[in-house]
């Protein structure tokens, strides 16, 4: 019996960190690798252990609503504003943006490389009925994709449209396996290890910009959240130190994120 309790206490003990903050982030942010740069710097400057919960935007918002995390860092403006309006978060603070890119088979059968806008590119895919993998998981990337489809006016559905209900990496694996088109964030794409026959085919449309915002969970609703730490983290994320690290983060010589923190909106 004593041994059992010893084991339990060891486990409980290891769970109790000194100054830790739970932050729900999106898979696309985590897959970019930027967190590996930022977290050690945050620890160094503020002594906060940021524990990342890597989930889709939809689940990140749910975690915030339930009070299971102290803050969220996501990229889906409409949902974020609704979250703050409903009183779950104290305010929405824009931090940085990156962009989405359209990935597809290197020989580009739907000719989206020649499209003028992202919406046109999707329309071409629909026209060619080329296989398209959708995240289908209510994530920020998924929401962006849906808004682009709406803008394109094309009808999707049928055999060629494949919602996989998975994270960015898993969806990219699926696209690689099926030689399909897919909308991905640039960072996830650059860091993705299993590119197979896929290539970056379309990028640069301002409609593809992807704004990340930070929202501390409202301590008025959930008294246990670490509001002080959440504010300290917000201050750090909007600081010059963060700007420098974010703007200088590169993969294969490409800049991924642009720091654009503003005053609270």
Partner 1 sequence: MGEIWEGLSAGFWLVVTLDADLVEITLRSLQVTLSAVVIASVIGLPFGAFLAIRRFRHRRATIAVLNALMGLPPVVVGLVVYLLLSRSGPFGVLGLLFTPTAMIIAQVIIITPLIASIAHQAIRDIWAEYHDLLISLSTSKRQRIKTLLWDGRRALITASLAGFGRGIGEVGAIMIVGGNIDNATRVLTTAIALETGKGDFALALGLGFVLIALAIAVNLAIHTIGRTESEGKW
User: Which listed range, 48-56, 79-87, 92-100, 153-161, lies at the site for partner 1 (CB under 8 A)?
Assistant: 48-56
Among 53, 151, 154, 245, binds partner 1 (CB under 8 A): 53
Instruction: Figure out which of the listed residues 37, 41, 54, 207 binds partner 1, where binding follows CB under 8 A.
Output: 54
In 10 A of CB 219, how many CB atoms?
17
Query: What's the token pair of residue 68?
Result: 């299971």
User: With CB under 8 A as the contact rule, which of the stretches 60-68, 93-101, 126-134, 144-152 interacts with partner 1?
Assistant: 60-68
Exposure string of 64-84, with b = 16+ CB inside 10 Å and e = fewer, is bbebebbbbbbbbbebbeebb
* 119, two tokens: 């919406």
Which 8-state DSSP code applies to residue 245?
A: H
Told to check if 251 binds partner 1 by CB under 8 A, we report no
- Give the angle subtended at the CA of 250 by the CAs of 170 and 187, to the nearest 5°: 20
37 binds partner 1 per the rule CB under 8 A: no
Query: Please, what is the minimum distance in Å from the beta carbon of residue 251 to partner 1?
Result: 13
Do the beta carbons of residue 195 and residue 42 sit within 8 Å? no
Q: Which is nearer to partner 1, 12 or 78 (CB)?
A: 12
Considering beta carbons, is residue 11 or 78 the nearer one to partner 1? Answer: 11
Q: Exactly one of 132, 192, 249, 259 binds partner 1 (CB under 8 A); which one?
A: 192
CA 139 to chain centre: 8
Do residues 31 and 168 touch, judged by C-beta distance below 8 A? yes
Selected from 37, 79, 170, 203, the binder of partner 1 by CB under 8 A is 170
Is 66 a binding residue for partner 1 by CB under 8 A? The answer is: yes
Our finding on whether 168 is near partner 1 (CB under 8 A) is yes
Cα dist from 13 to 17, 44, 193, 234, 255, whole Å: 8, 23, 36, 28, 41
Among 19, 45, 68, 120, binds partner 1 (CB under 8 A): 68
The footprint of partner 1 (CB under 8 A) covers 3-4, 7-8, 10-12, 14-15, 17, 20, 22, 27, 31, 49, 51-54, 65-68, 167-170, 172-173, 176, 191-195, 222, 224
């Amino acid at each position: 019996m004593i041994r059992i309790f010893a084991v339990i206490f060891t486990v409980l003990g290891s769970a109790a960190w000194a100054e830790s903050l739970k932050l729900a982030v999106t898979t696309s942010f985590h897959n970019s690798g930027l967190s590996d740069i930022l977290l050690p710097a945050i620890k160094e400057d503020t002594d906060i252990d940021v524990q990342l919960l890597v989930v889709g935007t939809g689940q990140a918002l749910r975690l915030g609503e339930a009070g299971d995390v102290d803050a969220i860092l996501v990229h889906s403006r409409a949902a974020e504003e609704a979250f703050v309006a409903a009183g779950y978060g104290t305010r929405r603070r824009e931090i940085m943006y990156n962009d989405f890119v359209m990935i597809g088979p290197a020989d580009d059968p739907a000719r989206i490389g020649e499209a003028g806008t992202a919406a046109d590119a999707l329309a071409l895919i629909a026209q060619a009925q080329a296989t398209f993998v959708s995240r289908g998981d209510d994530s920020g990337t998924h929401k962006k994709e849906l808004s682009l489809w709406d803008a394109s006016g094309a009808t999707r559905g049928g055999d060629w449209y494949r919602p996989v209900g998975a994270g960015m990496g898993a969806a990219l694996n699926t696209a690689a396996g099926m030689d399909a088109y897919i909308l991905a964030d640039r960072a996830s794409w650059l860091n993705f290890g299993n590119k197979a026959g896929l290539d970056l085919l379309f990028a640069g449309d301002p409609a593809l910009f992807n704004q990340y915002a930070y929202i501390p969970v409202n301590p008025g609703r959930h008294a246990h959240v670490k509001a002080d730490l959440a504010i300290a983290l917000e201050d750090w994320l909007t600081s010059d130190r963060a700007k420098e690290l974010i703007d200088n983060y590169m993969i294969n010589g490409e800049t991924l994120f642009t720091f654009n923190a503003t005053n609270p909106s």
